Amino acid sequence: MRSMIWKKTGWAAAIAAWTLMGSARPAEELTIEKVGALGRIPIAVEGYSGEAAQVLRFDLEIAGFRYVDRSQAQYLLAGKSVNRVEGALTDLVSGARLFSKAYTGATLRVQAHALADDVVQAVTGRPGIARTRIAFRVTRNGVSEIYVADYDGHNPIQITRDGTVTAAPCWAPGQNKLLYVTYRFGNADILLHDLNTGRRAFVARYSGSNISPAASPDGRRVAMILSKSGSPDLYVANLDGSGLRQLTQTPGVEACPTWSPDGRWIAYSTRLGGRRVLAKVPVSGGVPKRIPTSGVLNPTEADWSPDGRWIAFTSQMGGFEICVVPAGGGEARILVSGEDPVWAPNSRTLIYVRRAGGRRQLSLLDVFTKERKDVARSLGDCSQPTWAR
């Protein structure tokens, strides 16, 4: 009986998903391999209360699950969260018990995140993101500072006290370090801040503006936009700023660098033939190549997915739209209104900024199911997110 109902809801979900994706755009680009994953995965969650229940719901919904009754569910997560979080996950279709776990240490909140990650891993075969961290910029009365927080915006910690404009934070992968721009010393300078010690060092302090730091995926190098040669150009250096090399040399504006996951290319915003485009240049030096983004205009703020397959970016056509395009270029797909998208380590969730009533708000988007959740609402005007890898 249960499997009959699942078969019906399963087909309905699949058909709905195909319809929603639209006939104009090939839906197979963004499918994931497991059954039932074209739409949300129905899960019944029983026995949790308080903060742990809220955390589980947030984590599972943004991961692409839909909360349903047991009778409609494909999976059952049952447990409790009184003194510690415990949970058992059952595949209701096959009857198999996938795991049964209890968690200790840290807080109930972190334990609930760990349980959500274990559910995601067991169902999708991929690691969850519930215990990852983000950094971003908070602006109040013209002063902006950098904050670090959990991916859902909880436990925010202010890590700069510069009392001026700080901007463009970027995690150095594999390290507890953040690159960012600060005007604390009279100019737009790029610093590297060690979160373990609080010590920071100048990475770029040249004349003109030193902006838009982007750490390489191996954490050893940094791409930056420097104007010291007379125009904002793309440069690359070691993470400490030594070994500086210039990669573009044009009188126009280069902006917003992002690395390919293999560390061999840097994509960025530029102008070609008077039009704003995305381009990429080999890190070893060479001729830039355009990345076509058909169907949308003025692409900028690009971010290359960790699995290498996609580039997310902002398109400016009146307002701002979050778009994705295959990394080699092609048809761009508009996902949602907003700007400055950044990929999670799972190459599936995006964090981005939406402007609501003159204020900027961070939001998470599951690219596959379009589930959306605002984060860090209480801090004020939040923007320029970066996701720790």
Partner 1 sequence: MKRLTLAGFLAGAVVLMSCSTGCRHPEKGITPIPERAMPRVSEPKPKPPAQPVKPARPQPPKPTPPTPGPGGVAPGQKASGSELKTTPSGVELPSPEMFEGMVMDTNYFKAQTVHFDFDSSFVKYSERPKVEEVAKALKATPEAKLLIDGHCDERGTEEYNRALGERRALSLREHLIKLGISPDRIRTRSWGEDRPADPRHNEEAWAKNRRGEFILLLPPGAKPPSPPAGSAEK
Q: 51 vs 194, which CB is nearer to partner 1?
A: 194
| Residue 364 vs residues 152, 230, 354, 371: alpha-carbon distances, Å | 8, 38, 10, 8
Q: Which of 100, 262, 356, 377 binds partner 1 (CB under 8 A)?
A: 100
Residues 279-318 that bind partner 1 (CB under 8 A): 281, 285-287, 300-301, 314, 316
Q: Which residues, including other chains, have CB under 8 Å from residue 290's CB and lie 6 or more apart?
A: 272, 277, 278, 279, 329
Who contacts 17 (Cβ-Cβ below 8 Å, separation ≥6)?
A: 27, 38, 39
40: DSSP letter: P
Alpha helices in 48-90 (DSSP H): 50-62
Contact residue for partner 1 among 57, 66, 70, 101 (CB under 8 A): 101
Per-residue binding string, partner 1, 194-213, x by CB under 8 A, is xxxxxxxxxxxxxxxx-xx-
* Residue 383 interacts with partner 1 (CB under 8 A): yes or no: yes
Rule CB under 8 A: say whether 119 interacts with partner 1.
no
Tokens 């169907």 belong to residue:
295
The reply to whether 121 sits near partner 1 by the rule CB under 8 A is no
* Six-digit token string for 348: 């599936």
Q: Is 328 in the site for partner 1 (CB under 8 A)?
A: no
Tell me: does residue 363 bind partner 1 (CB under 8 A).
Answer: no
123 binds partner 1 (CB under 8 A): no
Pick the closer one to partner 1 by CB: 61 or 340.
340
Instruction: Tell me: does residue 162 bind partner 1 (CB under 8 A).
Output: yes
Site for partner 1 in 24-83 (CB under 8 A): none
Interface with partner 1, residue 274, by CB under 8 A: no
Q: How far is the CB of 200 from partner 1 (least distance, A)?
A: 5
Q: At how many degrees (to 10) do helices 50-62 and 108-124 cross?
A: 30
Cβ density class 241-260: b for 16+ within 10 Å, e for less: beebeebbeeeebbbbbbbb
